[in-house]
Amino acid sequence: MDLITEFVAELRQYGIPVSLGESIDAHEALISELIDDRELLKEALAATLIKNEAHREAFESLFNIYFGVNVERGDAEDSEDTNKHEGEDSLLAGNTVSKSAKLSGGSSGSLSQEEVIEMLFNALVNGDKDRLNQLAKLAVSMFASIEPGRPVGGVYYLYRTLRNIDIEALQAKLKNALLKQRDKNTDENLNERFASDEATLRTEKLKKLIEDEIRQRLIEDRGKQAMAKTLKKPLLEDIDIMRASRQEMFDLQQAIVPLSRKLASRLANRRRHLRQGRLNWPATIRKSMALGGSLAEPIFKKPKISKPDIILLADLSGSVASFARFTLQLVYALSSQFTKIRSFAFIDGIDEITSYFNLTTDPMKSFYKINTEADIMWLDGHSDYGHALTEFVKKWPEAVTPKSSVLILGDARSNYHNPHSDILKQLSKKSKHVYWLNPEPKAYWDSGDSIVKEYAPFCDEVLEVRTLKQLELFVNKLD
Amino acid sequence: METNFVFNSPDDVQASLEKVDYISSKTITTAVFLADRLKKPVLIEGPAGTGKTELAKSVAASSGSRLIRLQCYEGLDEAKALYEWNYKKQLLRIQAQNLVTDADNETWKQLEEDIFSEEFLLTRPLLEAIMSAEQTVLLIDEVDRIEIETEALLLEILSDFQVSIPELGTLQAKRIPLVFLTSNNSRELSEALKRRCLFLHIDYPDMNREKNIIKRRVPEIEAALLEQIGEFVRSIRQMDLKKKPSVSESIDWAKTLITLGIHTLDTEVANDTISVLLKYQSDIDTAIKELAVNS
């Protein structure tokens, strides 16, 4: 198997769809002898293989594994290797470091930590790329203490290196240095801001260099495929919302706006094309005039577009809050597609939260307000689905109409309280649809205090919704 | 079908584009170069105002090709995109025939062949691009606006550069056009379409490319002000905004500052003119608030 085919196979492993045709395109692109440097190779592969910008990040990290970070590191490994080490060695003041020693690292060099930090700082201030590259290698040699064969991810070593060079202090120092270089005549405030932007950018670049270096050493140690496996991150659409890290959650939030735009236009389109209205006689006859009176083309009246009416009941207790927030946000982003949305949050008490979303454009602020102001706690702040449902029909008996679709977001873990499933039965009779979106894996349902089976008979469907993809599928179904 | 290449190398693409004041990046030049070599369409995505449509126009201008543009909209159909029979002319032709002879079987057949010939064909942009004898650049703008079913119209052209007309047969491209499709990503395009295209995502430019672009478009700008504009726009783009300023907006802003006779930027000037960069009141509020805080 050639390298490109192997690379394509790895992309598919990641869940990025690459068709045979696209793989052929990639090969064809590389036939041209004009694709001669690494950047061009990367862009050529990206243009032929990656058809969705969201997959670009995964592509980049795999590309770095398969095609090396530096060109020298790739093909001409041996001849260039000596050169590369020479630079490093001169930094180490003649201290020769063998490859294995380099991998195991340790601060064996004659340079002290302070000296390395000082050198890094100077290189950052001058924006000297080659020097930074060398120093990044040196820093990894000295501080990462990479242990050969140990199956930990690169993040661990990265963290260790960054801590040793005290990256935050370095950034602050860099900012001040950059600020001093700047023209005193310009606005102080802006100067400050621009210097800080530049400092952040440069330190980010340094971080990347260090990351690249660590990855490269790990590949030398463990081989490509093993590395690709450890680096494997789920694609955004497959991330489990309940287990998302802070960064992933942030990325997910960012994805909501474009996703909702797409869903909205799809929903609108489908409603428009769903069914044609009745024949419009006058228009049909008018049209036939142009064709000498033959009724060639029937014209139909536009169908009446009916938009669903949504009632959201969201469990905001600790266990599922992140999921509920996320879903609420998506539904609100889609609000143009529904005639009416009313949302209610509950833990063991229940309160209407519709108005919180109209106040501000920042969803995080809305959630903060909901948590502090809304009256969703009744007794002890542990989920009680039965009580919440009872309160709901008592306080807002008019909310659910035959036109509404009721969405319940929660894990149905009611802490062994009375489920009051008869109330859900009433709701289901009164409404058009009842859907239950459960962020827990299906296998956990009905274990412990989960009472999915009590409620399931009265729902149109109980769905496992843990990822963006599943949520998207569900919203598509709504009408 | 003639196949000859418009560009010699990726560097050639970059140089030619620069001649017509389009500052490209490596991603862009590679995609354009491959489009020319592999004879494949390029699907361009990215935020509004980053030069997607401009790229197609510049490629046409730099290579001296004819630009044929199909603006997509909801409800676009075959008759507007591909071809249409000129039925009025056909009717006239039939009536003229009737005046001269009695229509028997033989002449009807002749007539039928006659009225379904190229003479009675109204070419629309897609067919036009195929039939053109000179090198063309076909721009299919905002392809995400057509319905997913209508996309199928494009598939034959995009993969085989041909159009099938039932009455005439299949028309092959005389010269393969360079095809660019732009999308604002308002919906997911079909897999079939994406598979046939090379993909190019044009994002906001980095600071140096942006400064180069502004310099090209507003040549009279002073170096110090240009530097500040670059840094300021970069800073603004990092804020959490509904709509980040696009390149065309930073060009407008540069022009505004020059018109106002400003030589150096300060917070006050920035606050006063920020409405050129940002188009939502909430974004303007956010930016002004953030600018006031000393970072």
Q: Could you say which residues from 241 to 270 on chain A have a Cβ atom under 8 Å away from some Cβ of chain B?
A: 258, 261-262, 265-266, 269
pLDDT of residue A17: 87
Average pLDDT score over chain A: 78
With a cut of 90, say whether residue A106 has pLDDT above it: no
Answer with the residue of higher pLDDT: B178 or A465.
B178
CA angle A357, A53, B193 (to 5 degrees): 110
| Domain regions of chain A by residue span | 3-67, 72-233, 246-274+306-477, 276-304
CB contact under 8 A, A262 and B40: no
List chain A residues with CB under 8 Å of B27.
43, 46-47
Are the Cβ atoms of B27 and A46 closer than 8 angstroms?
yes
Read off the pLDDT of residues A215-267 as tens digits, 9 standing for 90 and up: 888 887 777 777 777 666 667 777 777 777 777 777 777 777 777 777 676 66
- Pair A124, A202: CB distance under 8 Å: yes
Residue A229 in contact with partner chain B when CB distance is under 8 A: no
Bridge partners of A462?
A436
B281 touches chain A (CB under 8 A): no
How confident is residue A99, by pLDDT bands cut at 50, 70 and 90?
very low
**Where is average pLDDT lowest: A67-81, A457-471, B86-100?**
A67-81
> What's the pLDDT band for A372 if we cut at 50, 70, 90?
confident
pTM for this entry: 0.73
Residue pLDDT, tens place only, A109-126:
567 888 888 888 888 888
Q: What is the pLDDT along chain B (295 residues), one digit of tens a residue?
A: 456 788 888 899 999 999 999 999 999 999 999 999 889 999 999 888 888 999 999 999 999 999 999 999 888 888 888 888 888 888 888 877 776 665 555 677 777 778 888 888 888 999 999 888 899 999 999 998 888 778 888 888 888 898 888 888 888 888 899 999 999 877 778 888 999 999 999 999 999 999 999 999 999 999 889 999 999 999 999 888 878 899 999 999 999 999 999 888 888 888 899 999 998 888 898 888 888 875 4
Q: Find residue B43's DSSP bridge partners.
A: B181, B199
Judge whether B210 is closer than 8 Å to chain A, CB to CB.
no
**Testing the interface with B: which of A35, A189, A260, A336 to mutate, by most B Cβ within 10 A?**
A189
pLDDT tens, residue by residue, B144-172: 888 877 888 888 888 889 888 888 888 88
For an interface test with B, the pick among A33, A41, A43 (most B C-beta atoms closer than 10 Å) comes out as A43
Average pLDDT of the residues in A87-105: 41
Nearest beta carbon to residue A187 from set B188, B201, B267? B267
State the Cα–Cα distance between residues B220 and B211, nearest whole angstrom: 13
Label residue A85 left, alpha or beta by phi (over 0 means left) and psi (-120 to 50 means alpha).
alpha
Q: Is A23 on the interface with B (CB under 8 A)?
A: no
Rg (CA), chain A: 30
Q: What pLDDT does A269 receive?
A: 64
Interchain contact B159–A (C-beta under 8 A): no
Per-residue pLDDT band for A69 (boundaries 50, 70, 90) equals low
The answer to whether the CB atoms of A273 and B147 lie below 8 A apart is yes
d(CA A134, CA A17): 37
For residues A124-149, average pLDDT: 84
Between CA A262 and CA A268, with CA A266 as vertex, the angle to 5 degrees is 120
Burial of A90-109, coded b for 16+ CB within 10 Å and e otherwise, reads: ebbeeeebeeeebbebeeeb
Nearest CA in chain A to B268: A187
User: What whole-number distance in Å separates Cα of residue A298 and Cα of residue A282?
Assistant: 10
- 8 Å CB contact of A25 and B45: no
List the single residue in B with minimal CA-CA distance to A261.
Answer: B186
- Residues of chain A above pLDDT 70, percent: 81
In the stretch 88-107 of chain B, residues with CB closer than 8 A to chain A read 91
Cβ distance B194 to A51 less than 8 Å, yes or no, reads yes
Mean pLDDT on A201-219: 86
Q: Which residue of B has its CA nearest to A19?
A: B195
Q: Where are the beta strands (DSSP E) in A62-194?
A: none
Are B26 and A29 within 8 A, CB to CB? no
Q: What are the chain A neighbours of B292 within 8 Å (beta carbons)? A: 189
| Angle, alpha carbons B152-B135-A42 (nearest 5°) | 70
- For residue A170, give how far its alpha carbon lies from the nearest alpha carbon of chain B (Å): 17
Q: How far is B217 from chain A (nearest CA, A)?
A: 24
Whether A150 contacts chain B with CB within 8 A: no
Chain B residue nearest residue A273, CA to CA = B147
Contact criterion met (CB < 8 Å) for B295 and A190? no
Q: How far is A335 from chain B (nearest CA, A)?
A: 16
CB atoms within 10 A of CB B5: 12
Residues of B in contact with A183 (CB under 8 A): 224
Q: State the nearest Cα–Cα gap between B216 and chain A, in angstroms.
A: 23
Q: What is the DSSP letter of A340?
A: E
**Nearest by CB: B201 against A53, A261, A361:** A53
- Using the Cβ of B263 and the Cβ atoms of chain A, whether some distance falls under 8 Å is answered with no
Identify the pLDDT of residue B278: 92
Contacts of B201 in chain A (CB under 8 A): 53, 56
Nearest to A47 among B195, B199, B234 (CB): B199
Query: Considering CB atoms only, which of B43, B87, B185 is closest to A258?
Result: B185
CB pairs under 8 A between A and B: 107
Single-letter residue type at A20: L
**Residue A271 at interface with chain B, using a CB cutoff of 8 Å:** no
The mean pLDDT of A135-154, rounded to a whole number, is: 79
Q: What is the pLDDT of residues A309-363, one digit of tens each?
A: 888 888 888 777 777 777 777 777 777 667 778 888 888 888 888 877 765 556 6
Looking at CATH, the fold of the domain delimited by B10-78+125-201 is given as Rossmann fold (3.40.50)
What are the domain boundaries of chain B?
10-78+125-201, 83-118, 207-292
Q: A171 by DSSP, 3-state: which?
A: helix
pLDDT tops 50 at residue A76:
no
Rounded Cα distance between A477 and A72, Å, is 52
Q: So what's the pLDDT on residue A82?
A: 38
pLDDT band (50, 70, 90) for residue A305: low
Give the tens place of pLDDT for each residue, A175-203.
888 888 877 667 778 888 888 888 998 99
The domain defined by A246-274+306-477 carries CATH number 3.40.50.410: yes
Cα A69 to Cα A71: distance, rounded to the nearest angstrom: 7
B185 touches chain A (CB under 8 A): yes
Q: And the tokens for A186?
A: 């310009």
Please state the rounded mean pLDDT for residues A422-429: 90
Complex-level ipTM beyond the 0.90 threshold: no
Name the residue of chain B whose CA is nearest to A50's CA: B199
Question: What percentage of chain A reaches a pLDDT higher than 90?
Answer: 4
Cross-strand partners of A312: A343, A407
Highest-confidence range of A68-77, A363-372, B75-84, by mean pLDDT? B75-84
Whether the CB of A40 is below 8 Å from some CB of chain B: the reply is yes
Which residues of chain B make contact with A192, given a CB cutoff of 8 A?
294-295
Chain A residues within an 8 Å CB radius of B194: 51-52
Q: Which residues of B touch A51 (CB under 8 A)?
A: 43, 194-195, 197, 199
> In whole angstroms, how far apart are CA A451 and each of A45, A66, A307, A461?
50, 48, 32, 15
Candidate from B26, B38, B270 with C-beta closest to A28: B38
Q: What is the pLDDT of residue A77?
A: 36
